[in-house]
Amino acid sequence: MESVIRDPTLAPEGHMKIGWAAAHSPVLAAVRERRLKDGTFEGLGVAVALPVEAKTAYLAVVLAEAGARVAVAAPLPSVVQDDVAAALAERGVSVFANSEGSPEDADRWMELALEAATSAGEAVLIDDRAGLTRIAHTTRRRLLPHFRGASEETTSGVARLRAMEAEGVLEFPVLAANDARCKHLFDNRYGTGQSTLTALMQSTNLMLGGKRVVVLGYGWCGRGIARYAAGLGARVTVCEVDPVRGLEAYADGFDVLPALEAASFGEVFVTATGNLHVLGEEHFGRMRDGAILANAGGVDVEIDVGWLRAVAEEVREVRRHVEEFVMPDGRRLRLVGGGMVVNLTAGDGHPVEIMDLTFAIQALCAHRLANHAASMDSRVHLLPPELDEEVARLKLEAVGMGVDSLTAEQRRFLAGWRE
Ligand code: NAI
């Protein structure tokens, strides 16, 4: 199927970016050598909905080289790098992604990816926020019999898929790639931590040292953001709804306060909850002039941008990726990345080495679904722990490190109760 991209002449820059990602992805390369060359993917479709940037492109290339019919769709236009989309299309992957498209276009791209992946047989899905799965269960129901299953990348996506399972509407098995330890412990925490702050610093060109940074949500992502911000010298306050996570943030050395209190003194606010309107009218009403807002969560409704747009006297772009909202009382609130996932809309996403782990997990999930979906129920499953451990061992090996193994005696001791 013909790709939908902005400009094929951008491909050379895209090839360079993909080459850089490949050069820093030893774990995915090792998984390819050990597992993906067994013919599993020969003639199988793989529909991928992920940010169209270099690391995703390298995953697509690896799957295509293993024989898969790969179709990649961007779940949002704001997470498309057009040069990478062009390069990927040139390498024979079907690509549906254009940074100048609209959110409605993104749904269409995901439909096209599902069509392309199933054009000559069955397919597995590598999904983001359950976008492909939602479409497969609604506007493309006729394709349902062709899907063996889906692997889900994000915390928010897994939550949605569990909601579908609970309602009894999920019609194929899902592997929660996000819940693999080699995914969320590193991607959500260190990946989001580093890349969110990089995106904030690049877009604003402001210093974080000494600033009062408010992190909303102290899950895997929030922990990483708070830690990296503190590392840069910011004075970090955490807002939570879970008292245990709040206490954990306190024990990690952060102030923990209700969001309405933090709203009055914060200089930079970063949401990472996956929840609706974590920052809204009441918070905006208390914020200082010049407050900077960004969302690192997987849903674009954490900051009530709709309210800001509706009441602002004026909205102007003050730097690339930074909009200034002039409130009726003259205060200016500055939103980075449009309230969408900031490390992707205003940055390059996670570091390559992080996505090497994540995509090694995704490749193993797709491989497992391709081989075992027929014997899996239509619910959300976890990746077997030995595959998670394989990824960790491969990464340790790649950096010249390693761990010990339990002796038979130690195993017996740990499993017993008499000694
Ligand atoms: P998590 O479930 O570990 O943490 C979310 C935290 O937010 C929980 O501790 C919860 O109690 C808290 N929370 C919920 N509502 C809240 C509210 N109103 N105020 C304050 N805290 C609230 O989830 P995780 O893995 O940290 O992911 C968070 C979001 O980030 C998800 O939407 C996920 O999909 C997304 N994500 C984004 C990435 C990125 O690249 N920017 C990477 C990985 C995940």
* 307-345 residue pLDDT tens: 999 999 999 999 999 999 999 999 999 999 999 999 999
Q: Which residues line ligand 1 (CB under 6 A)?
A: 154-156, 184, 187-188, 192, 216-222, 239-242, 245, 272-275, 278, 296-299, 341, 343
CA angle 251, 257, 263 (to 5 degrees): 140
CB 365 within 8 A of CB 352: no
- How many Å apart are CA 382 and CA 391, to the nearest integer? 15
Q: Which helix (H) or strand (E) holds 292?
A: strand 292-295
Q: What pLDDT is stored for residue 143 in this prediction? A: 98
What separation in Å is there between the alpha carbon of 165 and the centre of ligand 1? 21
What separation in Å is there between the alpha carbon of 336 and the centre of ligand 1? 18
Q: What pLDDT is stored for residue 419 in this prediction? A: 75
Average pLDDT over residues 346-374: 97
Residue 382 has pLDDT above 80, yes or no: yes
Tokens read off for 243: 């008292």
Tokens read off for 95: 């690509």
Among 74, 70, 72, CA closest to 45: 70
SS3 135: helix
State the closest ligand 1 atom to the C-alpha of 184, by its place in the atom list counted from 1. 25
Residue 355 has pLDDT above 80, yes or no: yes
What separation in Å is there between the alpha carbon of 134 and the centre of ligand 1? 21
State the closest ligand 1 atom to the C-alpha of 273, by its place in the atom list counted from 1. 7
- How many Å apart are CA 63 and CA 369, to the nearest integer? 14
Tokens read off for 414: 């740990």
Average pLDDT over residues 345-365: 97
What is the pLDDT confidence band of residue 377, given thresholds at 50, 70 and 90? very high
What separation in Å is there between the alpha carbon of 221 and the centre of ligand 1? 6
CB 172 within 8 A of CB 378: yes
Strands 332-341 and 174-175: unpaired
Average pLDDT, the chain: 97
What separation in Å is there between the alpha carbon of 310 and the centre of ligand 1? 26
Residue 24, phi then psi, degrees to nearest 5: -115, 25
Average pLDDT over residues 358-369: 98
Q: Which residue lies with its CA nearest to atom 40 of ligand 1? A: 192
- How many Å apart are CA 199 and CA 195, to the nearest integer? 6
State the closest ligand 1 atom to the C-alpha of 188, by its place in the atom list counted from 1. 43
What is the pLDDT confidence band of residue 418, given thresholds at 50, 70 and 90? confident
Global confidence as pTM: 0.95
pLDDT in tens, 166-204: 999 999 999 999 999 999 999 999 999 999 999 999 999
Which contacts (CB < 8 Å, 24+ apart) does range 96-103 have?
96/3, 96/4, 96/71, 96/72, 97/4, 97/5, 97/52, 97/72, 97/73, 98/4, 98/5, 98/6, 98/74, 99/6, 100/6, 101/74, 101/77, 102/77, 103/76, 103/77
Residue 15, phi then psi, degrees to nearest 5: -60, -40
Q: What pLDDT is stored for residue 1 in this prediction? A: 81
Average pLDDT over residues 86-113: 97
- How many Å apart are CA 89 and CA 96, to the nearest integer? 9
Q: List Cβ neighbours of 181 (8 Å cut-off, separation of 6 or more).
A: 385, 388, 392
% of the chain residues with pLDDT over 70:
100
- How many Å apart are CA 70 and CA 175, to the nearest integer? 19
Strands 255-256 and 268-271: unpaired
pLDDT in tens, 252-267: 999 999 999 999 999 9
- How many Å apart are CA 356 and CA 30, to the nearest integer? 10
% of the chain residues with pLDDT over 90:
99
